[in-house]
Structure 1
Amino acid sequence: MSAVIDVDPDVTAPVVPTVPAARAGRRDRASRFGLPVLSVLVFLGLWQLAAASGIWNEIFVPYPRTVWNAAVDASTTHDGVRGYQGYLLVEHLYMTLRRVFAGVVIGVAAGVALGLAMGTVGWVRHVLEPWLTFLRALPPLAYFFLLVIWLGIDEAPKIALLALAALPPAAVATTTAVLAAPVTLIEAARALGAGRAQVIRDVVVPAALPETFTGVRLAVGIAYSSVVAAELFNGIPGIGGMVKDASNYNNTPVVLVGIFAIGFSGLVIDALLRAVERRAVPWRGKI
């Protein structure tokens, strides 16, 4: 006599990944973390070979260990000397990040507001677009000395320079995103009785957020690329000021320490922005 087992049709068995899928996932994770590490090791190996070849003087291509020692010296108090020029590396980095943060917040806020206005009001776009293009084409050093004349050599010209560097990419990205908002969704909202302000708030802004975040990331990158120029005058403490001062004395290891500090902190900030974007704009690519 055989037993009959009733199976509830509404209950589904848990999906168990197949062995090939699990292996593919492990390979993907290994490549995601392993390949960057491998690229760093290859870079350090090539750098060591270039320094040991003797083709270039050590002033121009120092050994990786020399740069590491310079980083340690800049981060500690040694032989009665505190860091570099009296400030630890973390203090230089903090001042640079503070300036970048202030400049990016001002520039991005102004850029997003301008982009929203330019994308929704035609005459505003026609008036401001040439000026925005003009500003975007200028290298930071072209107007930094003018900012120094106007604002002095303290923090104001540095923050103003970084804000002006961050404004155009944020404004252009927001304008493009607003103009590219799905017409079908806009018409549907209007058909349901939504007013202009409601359409902008509920349809245009959510649709524009993904590209706006891209513009913010670009703005941060451009501000970072301008930080050395922003810290040309009275830039110590600051990574840019440290790099400029070290370059005056052909102190290549300290220059490289500053470059790596800016680059690594930029990678961390970009990763944080991408994490915020994933949480704030989960609908990216779905509309």
Structure 2
Amino acid sequence: MPTTSRLPQTDPTPVAVEPPVRRPPRGAWARVRRAALPFGSLVLFLALWQSLAASGTWSETLVPPPAKVWEAFIDVSTTHDGVRGYNGTYLVEHLGISLRRIAIGSGVGIALGVLFGLAMGTVGWLRALFEPWITFLRTLPPLAYFSLLVIWLGINEEPKVTLLAVAAFPPVAVSTTTAVAAVPRSLLEAARALGASRWDVVKDVVLPSALPETLTGVRLAVGVAYSSLVAAELVNGLPGIGGMVKDAANYNNTPVVLVGIIAIGVSGLIIDGLLLRLERAAVPWRGRS
């Protein structure tokens, strides 16, 4: 009896095939996460602040709610009841005047710090001569010598700019000195063997090698200048954001004090971000070699 092969029966009903789920690329998730985490922390901070203010543990003079601070921000940023901003100056103008002082003061301090750092890093006896004084200056709080600057220079712009320059000078000088002293000796000897002059060695070997640490010192110097801003504007600081904070504190105007503090902090974050971008553009090899 012949055997017949039986083929398996197939269901003629077509099966719907779901298209594969397209997931966003990993880089997009990273960008979303980087944006969501700071935003989430801000929302959490505002919620804790509001709950603390609403608890009644402290009075509104000590811990005003976020709504009061927002109203103060609107008041100092606009003209209200015939009053222009705070003390006749808008918030953005106070901030701009303070940023100009920081730019001039920290710019002078950074330039001097780089020059001193290069000199002390390449000449041993200069380092032995000046490094103790720079360390002494770096450990002094700004208020310790601000009164002396007022006696010497008066109460106008000179003591404020000088204080910011003195505050910004040590971080750059120390970081540049350390970076220059750490340049591999083999690179220096190779450059001299190829006939490079002293200036060529500094320009083509020392400066590129020291640049990453110098830029880190610049970021630190700007941060120190920001932290010294209110101290620099203690005397005759209006107009100026630090002077606004000091004047509002004299009248227990806590919302305006918080507006000034937030303005200083946010502008400092922005400038530090710009400096970080500059550092990445100037030394793209940092962290990759």
Shared fold, TM over 0.5: yes
State the SS of the aligned residue for 1:245: helix
Structure 1: gaps spanning 5 or more residues = 1-18
Counterpart of 1:109 in structure 2 is 111
Task: Supply the distance in 1 between the matched residues of 2:186 and 2:287 (Cα, whole angstroms).
Answer: 16
Counterpart of 1:34 in structure 2 is 36
Counterpart of 1:275 in structure 2 is 277
Counterpart of 1:206 in structure 2 is 208
- Identify if the C-alpha distance between structure 1 residues 199 and 286 changes in structure 2 by more than 3 Å, giving closer, same or farther: farther
Counterpart of 1:55 in structure 2 is 57
Task: Supply the distance in 2 between the matched residues of 1:233 and 1:44 (Cα, whole angstroms).
Answer: 33
Task: Supply the distance in 1 between the matched residues of 2:214 and 2:33 (Cα, whole angstroms).
Answer: 30
Counterpart of 2:179 in structure 1 is 177
Counterpart of 1:90 in structure 2 is 92
More divergent stretch after superposition (30-39 vs 255-264)? 30-39
Shift of 1:172: 0.4
Instruction: Select the residue among 252, 261, 284 that pairs with 2:254.
Output: 252
Counterpart of 2:242 in structure 1 is 240
Shift of 1:190: 2.2
Give the letter for the 1:186 counterpart.
Answer: L
Task: Supply the distance in 2 between the matched residues of 1:281 and 1:24 (Cα, whole angstroms).
Answer: 26
> Could you tell me the percent identity over the aligned residues?
67
TM-score scaled by structure 1? Answer: 0.91
TM-score scaled by structure 2? Answer: 0.90
Instruction: Select the residue among 112, 119, 122 that pairs with 2:121.
Output: 119
Structure 2: gaps spanning 5 or more residues = 1-20
Q: What is the CA deviation profile of residues 83-135 of structure 1, one whole-angstrom value per residue up to 9, with x for unaligned ones?
A: 00111001100110000000011000000000000000000000000100110
Counterpart of 1:46 in structure 2 is 48
Counterpart of 1:215 in structure 2 is 217
Shift of 1:27: 1.9
Counterpart of 2:26 in structure 1 is 24
State the SS of the aligned residue for 1:283: coil
Task: Supply the distance in 2 between the matched residues of 1:184 and 1:27 (Cα, whole angstroms).
Answer: 44
Task: Supply the distance in 1 between the matched residues of 2:239 and 2:22 (Cα, whole angstroms).
Answer: 54
Q: Name the larger-Rg structure.
A: 2
Task: Supply the distance in 1 between the matched residues of 2:143 and 2:72 (Cα, whole angstroms).
Answer: 29
Task: Supply the distance in 1 between the matched residues of 2:114 and 2:197 (Cα, whole angstroms).
Answer: 22
Task: Supply the distance in 2 between the matched residues of 1:112 and 1:184 (Cα, whole angstroms).
Answer: 23
